Structure 1
Amino acid sequence: MFISRRDVLAASAGACLLTLPAQAATRRLRPPFAVPRASGVAPKAKHLPKTEPVRELANESRYRKDDPSRSTVDPELSEAYERSVAPLRAFSQSVIRAANRYVASDGKNLKAAAEAGGILATWAGADSLKVVSGETAQFSRLLTLGAASLGLMQIEGALKPTLRTIIANWLEDRAGETYRHYAALKTKSAANNHRYWAGLSVLSAGIVANRRDLFDWGVSSARIGIAEVTAEGALPLELARGQRALSYHAYALAPLVLIAEAAARNGDSSLYDENSGALHRLIDFCLTQLDDPTRITQLAGTAQEALPNGEFYDSGDVAWLEIYESRFPGRSAWSARLPKMRPMRSTNLGGDITLLFARPGTAPANIPRGRARP
């Protein structure tokens, strides 16, 4: 059983005792985006998209084990990895699509809220993602946890309180397990993009459970990444990814930007200022290198991997830019490009990011959905 609110979160065996006292928030934690007022209570969903709850997960990385940069894909391992995460992706995408439909209706599409809530309740009822084995499985779980929490944020006002509580309790349990794992780690995953994504998943579950301690741990995870940013704007641990260094800079930015925005929406905008504005430097560096990866090629020591079309990104890789633009309109070098790139989409950040974050009056273009992150 997960430790209750009245207890403390402790690190797993073998490490020094790490405690995080449960704190009572003076006011309810807010989502990082605006949520519509529900037009009523969602009915019980009559039909749900088919998803298979996963209670145990033990998948392995897609990268060759003899490559220290973890940047060379092994075809056989990649095929096995894709099979293992397929049910997780189907779950996350189904929840987020339905939740986005509800938001797009301004709270009127109660059937969409019922669909998202029904899928979440099914997985919560199965106590899904309870048992995980290995670092890749831990990471796969936290991505799923984050998407589920962001989906619940969008629809929770339309759900019956009892249903919402069941789902929130499940997410809270998984968040506690994720926290304990990453708080005790001594490997690179304790400080690279894995930690930032863990922070986002725990923070998001903290919002739906109104757990200030979980929320604060997520913010502290982002501080780890922001403290790593060099004067030039690079992330040393992502430079170590060799030919995928550029890709992983863009990937690491996603949780950092959303955590910074979630903190700002809850009264703390300091993440944007820390380390002499490191988050701004990182964004500037990443966007510049996506246009011309000459410098990151020098820093990583190898040419950067491009997409089949020769580009180094698609809209899904930089969906976080919509969040940044909502806070700092016109500041990024790509601000003028955004109208042609919209809608910006990322399941791991909540789905249609343009829908959730773009300022009123923004007209999204009709472009294909971005590629999935390996």
Structure 2
Amino acid sequence: MPMRLAPLTLMSLLLSAPAFAALQPPPGYHAAVGQRGGAAPSCQAVPRPYTGDLQFTSKYEGSNSARATLNRKAEKNFREQTANITRLEKEAGRMITYYMRTGQQGHLDCAVEWLDQWASADALESEQFNHTGKSMRKWALGSLAGAWLRLKFSESQPLAAYPQQSARIEAWFTRLAEHTVREWSGLPLRKINNHSYWAAWSVMAVAVIADRRDLFDWS
């Protein structure tokens, strides 16, 4: 016969139990840092943090309503306007990947330095944006937070030596995620497309980093 608990005892157990376990990424994100040895190349200068308005030329400017025809001149303008953002995305991701494969400390030092400088400058947080600008914000967030997950949850705990930098970077990611939620919420079904999927991925990555159930549920 199953044991029965008195109602008050059962209620006290329910109230004392956590509502949810801490959010965790898939098992692969817990992988240890590789140990191939060797030295990382010297750290390049950090690209200037982008703190201006997120008002960028669309690559499809002048296209029809489907916005699917590339405008070469507009694309050139877009690339020039967003060069520093794109460089941060690509290089920070590359450095984190190389660090996870090799264990070369210089890659990690450099990646943390780059991200910390952008976080400290409140980069990409402008309230003045167009569609391309808010798209850039969530694309950058998805790339950066997705790479950071590997450091955050690695069983090697590579971020243990960077508590202050990590706190600033993760707080910055959280602010960008909150921007993303505001900017991509409430769209009618006909407007939901790959942009919404990117927004969901970027916010999901931050939800796990920050253990934010509200961001997880939005995603």
Q: CA deviation at 1:184?
A: 3.4
Corresponding position of 1:119? 114
- Counterpart CA distance in 1 for 2:165 and 2:213 is 22
2:105 paired with 1:110? yes
Corresponding position of 2:180: 178
Of structures 1 and 2, the one scoring higher in RCO (CA 8 A, sep 6+) is 2
Q: 1:50 to 1:161 in 2, by over 3 A?
A: closer
Between the two proteins, the alignment pairs up a number of residues equal to 187
How far 1:32 sits from its partner (Å)?
Answer: 6.5
Q: CA offsets, 1:30-50, max 9 Å, x none?
A: 2563333469xxxxxx84443
- Please say if 1:35 is aligned against 2:30: yes
Map 1:264-343 onto structure 2 (within 5 A).
Answer: none
Corresponding letter in the other structure for 1:109: Q
CA distance in 2, matches of 1:114, 1:71: 40
Matches within 5 A, 1:157-236: 157-159=157-159, 160-186=162-188, 188-189=190-191, 191-218=192-219
| 125-134 vs 153-162, greater mean Cα deviation | 153-162
Q: Offset of 1:27 from its aligned partner? A: 2.1
Whole-Å Cα distance in 2 between the matches of residues 66 and 167 of structure 1? Answer: 37
Asked whether the 8 Å contact 2:63–2:71 carries over to 1, the reply is no
**Offset, 1:76:** 2.2
Deviation at 1:142, TM superposition (A): 0.5
SS class of match (1:130): coil
Task: State the distance in 1 between where 2:189 and 2:58 align.
Answer: 16
* Secondary structure of 1:183's aligned partner: coil
Taking structure 1 as the reference length, what is the TM-score of the superposition? 0.46
Partner deviation per Cα, 1:229-252 (whole Å, 9 max, x = no partner) = xxxxxxxxxxxxxxxxxxxxxxxx
- Alpha-carbon displacement from aligned partner over 1:309-357 (angstroms, at most 9, x marks no partner): xxxxxxxxxxxxxxxxxxxxxxxxxxxxxxxxxxxxxxxxxxxxxxxxx
Alpha carbons 1:113, 1:155 under 8 Å: kept:
no
C-alpha separation in 1, matches of 2:113 and 2:27: 23
Residue 63 of structure 1 aligns to which amino acid in structure 2?
A: Y
Q: 1:209 to 1:31 in 2, by over 3 A?
A: farther
**Mapped partners of 2:45, 2:143: distance in 1:** 17
CA contact 1:62–1:74 (8 Å) conserved in 2: yes
Asked if structure 2 preserves the Cα contact closer than 8 Å seen for 1:24 and 1:211, the reply is no
Kindly state the Cα deviation for residue 101 of structure 1 after the two structures are TM-superposed: 0.8
Post-superposition offset of 1:64: 3.6
- After superposing the two structures, state which structure 1 stretch, 81-90 or 62-71, moved more: 62-71
Q: CA offset at residue 186 of structure 1?
A: 4.0
Provide closer, same or farther for how the CA distance between residues 85 and 25 of structure 1 changes in structure 2, counting only shifts above 3 A: farther
Match in the other structure for 2:13: none
* Counterpart in the other structure of 2:140: 144
TM-score, L = length of structure 2: 0.77
2:46 to 13, 34, 50: 50
CA distance in 2, matches of 1:113, 1:173: 23
Comparing 146-155 with 92-101, greater Cα deviation is found at 146-155
Residue 98 (structure 2) pairs with residue 101 (structure 1): yes
Shift of the alpha carbon at 1:65?
3.1
Counterparts of 1:359-370 in structure 2, within 5 Å, are none
Contact 1:59 1:81 in 2 (8 A): yes
Match of 2:38 in 1: none
1:154 equivalent to 2:150? Answer: yes
The alignment-based identity, stated in percent, is 25
Between Structure 1 and Structure 2, whose CA radius of gyration is higher?
Answer: 2
Give, as a single letter, the amino acid of the residue that structure 2 aligns with 1:112: H
Distance 1:211 1:204 in 2: 10
Per the TM alignment, residue 66 of structure 1 is displaced from its structure 2 partner at its CA by 4.7
State the 1:161 CA deviation. Answer: 2.2
List alignment gaps of at least 5 residues for structure 1: 1-22, 40-45, 219-374
CA contact (8 A) 2:43 2:106 kept: no
What amino acid is aligned across from residue 145 of structure 2 in structure 1? Answer: S
Structure 2 unaligned regions, length at least 5 = 1-17, 35-41
- CA–CA distance in structure 1, aligned partners of residues 66 and 179 of structure 2: 28
